[in-house]
Structure 1
């Protein structure tokens, strides 16, 4: 993992729509690390309609290896 953490990719497919963060959005994403938990907030856009944007806010846990 890089220090500070960075996003290499950030996307979500829901309801047949793919939301994806651009390289600019990934570089400006907010990433908070708390132990094994990661809280990520980034702007995402619809893959085939970049003018349609939203904010994706997700928390996930990665157990230690």
Structure 2
């Protein structure tokens, strides 16, 4: 489920960013290109999550 939500939000947020940037620049929004970039960002997030070590020990804060 976390993979689906990560993919969903990365595509949504990159499309919003692409729309805003294209509006500021006065150019046409390329939905396909921005969606592909969103998928690539999601894959990079998955790779970073897999590579980074997990901290199994939870420290007590007493």
> Normalised by the size of structure 1, how large is the TM-score?
0.28
Q: Which has the larger radius of gyration?
A: 2
Q: Quick check: which one's strand share is greater?
A: 1
Higher relative contact order structure (alpha carbons within 8 Å, sequence separation ≥ 6): 2
